[in-house]
Chain A
Amino acid sequence: GAVVSQHPSWVICKSGTSVKIECRSLDFQATTMFWYRQFPKQSLMLMATSNEGSKATYEQGVEKDKFLINHASLTLSTLTVTSAHPEDSSFYICSAPGQGGREQYFGPGTRLTVT
Chain B
Amino acid sequence: DQQVKQNSPSLSVQEGRISILNCDYTNSMFDYFLWYKKYPAEGPTFLISISSIKDKNEDGRFTVFLNKSAKHLSLHIVPSQPGDSAVYFCAASVTGGTSYGKLTFGQGTILTVHP
A62 to chain B, nearest CB (A): 13
Cross-chain contact B41 with A103 (CB below 8 angstroms): no
Cross-chain contact B102 with A91 (CB below 8 angstroms): no
The interface on chain B, measured as residues whose beta carbon lies within 8 A of the other chain's beta carbons, has a size of 23
Q: Given A42-B107, A43-B107, A43-B108, A101–B101 Cβ distance below 8 Å?
A: yes
A25 within 8 A of B: no
> A residues within 8 A CB of B91?
104
Cross-chain contact A101 with B100 (CB below 8 angstroms): yes
> B residues within 8 A CB of A85?
none
B63 within 8 A of A: no
A2 to chain B, nearest CB (A): 9
Within 8 A of B (CB), among A73-94: 91, 93
Give the most central of B41, B49, B91: most A CB within 10 Å: B41
Cross-chain contact B43 with A108 (CB below 8 angstroms): yes
Cross-chain contact B104 with A103 (CB below 8 angstroms): no
> B residues within 8 A CB of A32?
100-101
> B residues within 8 A CB of A102?
32, 34, 49, 93, 95
27 A-B contact pairs sorted by A residue (CB < 8 Å): A6-B43, A32-B100, A34-B102, A42-B107, A43-B107, A43-B108, A44-B44, A44-B103, A46-B102, A46-B103, A49-B101, A49-B102, A91-B41, A95-B103, A97-B101, A102-B49, A102-B93, A102-B95, A103-B46, A103-B49, A104-B34, A104-B46, A104-B91, A104-B103, A106-B44, A109-B41, A111-B41
B interface vs A, CB < 8 Å?
A: 32, 34, 36, 41-46, 49, 89, 91, 93, 95, 100-108
A interface vs B, CB < 8 Å?
A: 4, 6, 32, 34, 42-46, 49, 91, 93, 95, 97, 101-109, 111
